[in-house]
Structure 1
Amino acid sequence: MILVSACLIGLKCRYDGTNAFCNELMDFLKDKNYLPVCPEQLGGLPTPRAPAVIVGGDGFDVQKLKARVINEAQEDVTFNFLQGAKKTLELADLFGVERCYLKERSPSCGVNWVYKKEGLSRGCGVTTALLLKNGYAIIGV
């Protein structure tokens, strides 16, 4: 089983109500079992929603409660991001996920790049940090 950011397979769940469909990924997945997830929706955020950034670190720091996730309306949505990460991990464990393909630059799913207060920066998102901490192999798309 492969866990995939839902926006990458065409579901309109990104903050702005769009998707990030990836033809190459869908070609790869065509004969495989996969589980689409949107951690931000799993954490209770609506679509569309105000874009959010990590302030004070990266996803690992948010997991340690040393950084926050703040949206452009200056609302603290850290709890939603943490809940979404936790629910994603629960699903990965339940479905026996072997690896994950997650959306780069997302404050939830970014693997190597994530939006922070300073702009696009090196680091990972909140969900990615929790999955990595729990031994999951993750590839950024």
Structure 2
Amino acid sequence: MNQKDFNCLKEAINEKKPILVSGCLLGMKINYKEEDSLVGELRDMLLYGQAIPVCPEVLAGMTTPRDPAEIVMANGERKVYNDKKIDVTELYQLGAERALAAARTSGAKIAIMKSKSPSCGCGKIYDGTFSESLIDGDGITAAYLKEHGIRVITEEDFLECIK
């Protein structure tokens, strides 16, 4: 996490500004396996009204559980395919648009997103082979939020920051 992201997060926490947070990190059982990735310190922010929960996949109408998906490069474009080789890129893009709308509506300037996710991953994502190999890159929503001026960090960055 760079210094600007660190400062933005500290300011948001200290001034009780809204922070967009992946719903699975808040204890919601909405990831592709219908599980959560609870971070207790983030759930506390939800209880105090500071965390704005989002799940781009759910916002796009995907079910839980759902087939795992990963980003691949196809003809020079980033595409999202599930493990059945079905192109689900449009749903992921719709989820990104709806997550950005949530950020804008709430006034959130920073998002804490689930690491490695094809939607929320920031900095590292799976390589598209479903082999659990990581590559540098951002998920569809993380990249879209960044393109529109929202700072994005992972739950790992958040935990490091609050130490």
Q: After TM superposition, is the score higher than 0.5? A: yes
Q: Which residue of 1 aligns with 2:82?
A: 71
- Shift of residue 109, structure 1, vs aligned partner: 0.2
Whole-Å separation in 2 of the counterparts to 1:47 and 1:113 = 23
Greater helix content: 2
Tell me the residue number matched to 1:39.
56
CA contact (8 A) 2:120 2:140 kept: yes
RMSD (CA atoms): 1.7
Match of 1:110 among 121, 125, 128: 121
How big is the shift at 1:98?
A: 2.4
Give 1:62's aligned residue. Answer: none
1:60 match: none
Q: Map Cα deviations across residues 28-63 of structure 1 (whole Å, 9 max, x no partner).
A: 655451210000111121100000000118xxxxxx
Match of 1:3 in 2: 20
Q: How does 1:19-98 map to 2 (within 5 A)?
A: 19-27=36-44, 31=48, 33-56=50-73, 66-98=77-109
Overall identity of the aligned pairs, in % = 39
User: Which has the larger displacement, 48-57 or 123-132?
Assistant: 48-57
Alpha-carbon displacement from aligned partner over 1:58-112 (angstroms, at most 9, x marks no partner) = xxxxxxx812100001111000000000011011111111211100000000011
**TM-score of the superposed pair, with normalisation by structure 1:** 0.88
**How many corresponding residue pairs?**
134
Q: Which has the larger radius of gyration?
A: 2
Q: Which stretch shows the higher mean deviation, 125-134 or 31-40? A: 31-40
Using CA pairs below 8 Å that are at least 6 residues apart, which structure has the higher relative contact order? 1
Uncovered stretches (5+) of structure 2, i.e. residues with no partner: 1-17, 156-163
2:153 corresponds to: 139
The secondary structure found in structure 1 opposite 2:77 is coil
